[in-house]
């Protein structure tokens, strides 16, 4: 397939960043592309069961999302080390894939779990023909500038404002 290798970022305060990325993965799978999905700070998501059933490579780095847990400095140092171990294994075979999603990459950077230099080097040196999709809030401007697509999800209204929390099969 030609014209692969662009970089997409789905960001913003609104719902739908992961959903958009997963939709793109389904489209790519439907066109017989090899897809790998890496989710950061998530566990027990509906999509993991779907992709597991299809035997699509799907990895999760499962510590609690920094949006929901305040990490102490010591916990953060430990989390960074844990992330680096996960990261090395997660990205070692990216050249096998036409499309790779790294979900919640923005918060990983924003909360300093993913070093900016690591992120920049990774993006600049990704496999040439691999389409890369990054999601999450809080991407630094220079990372946005490295991408080919940037889509911002804008929150206008959300049920959380009425005290309705994340619902199984809808938000996770």
* Domains of the chain listed by start with CATH number: 7-139 (3.40.50.300)
> What is the b/e burial string over 97-106, where b = at least 16 CB atoms within 10 angstroms of the residue's CB?
bbbbbbbbbb
> pLDDT tens track of the chain, all 172 residues?
566 799 999 999 999 999 999 999 999 999 999 999 999 999 889 999 999 999 999 999 998 776 777 878 888 899 999 999 999 999 999 999 999 999 999 999 998 999 999 999 999 999 999 999 999 999 999 999 999 999 999 999 988 889 888 888 788 8
47 touches 38 (CB < 8 A): no
How many CA atoms, within 13 angstroms, populate the side-chain half-sphere of residue 88?
5
Secondary element (H or E) of residue 76: helix 73-91
The pLDDT of residue 1 is 53
Q: Supply the pLDDT for residue 2.
A: 61
**106 is written with which tokens?**
């923005």
121 half-sphere exposure, CB direction, 13 A CA radius = 6
Q: Determine phi and psi for 116, rounding to 5 degrees.
A: -60, -40
Number of H helices, E strands in the chain: 6, 6
User: What is the model's pLDDT at position 29?
Assistant: 97
What is this structure's pTM? 0.91
Question: What is the per-residue pLDDT for 33?
Answer: 97
Write down the pLDDT at residue 75: 87
């Amino acid at each position: 397939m030609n014209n692969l290798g662009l970089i997409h970022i789905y960001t913003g305060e609104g719902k739908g960043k992961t959903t958009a990325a997963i939709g793109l993965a389904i489209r790519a799978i439907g066109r017989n592309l090899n897809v790998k999905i890496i989710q950061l700070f998530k566990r027990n998501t509906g999509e993991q069961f779907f992709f597991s059933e299809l035997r699509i490579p799907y990895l999760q780095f499962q510590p609690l999302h920094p949006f929901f847990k305040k990490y102490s400095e010591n916990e953060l140092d430990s989390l960074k080390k844990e992330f680096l171990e996960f990261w090395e294994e997660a990205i070692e075979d990216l050249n096998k894939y036409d499309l790779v999603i790294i979900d919640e990459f923005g918060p990983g950077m924003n909360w300093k779990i993913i070093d900016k230099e690591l992120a920049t080097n990774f993006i600049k040196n990704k496999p040439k023909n691999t389409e890369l999709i990054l999601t999450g809030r809080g991407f630094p401007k220079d990372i946005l500038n490295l991408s080919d697509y940037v889509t911002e999800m804008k929150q206008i209204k959300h049920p959380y404002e009425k005290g309705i929390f994340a619902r199984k099969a809808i938000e996770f």
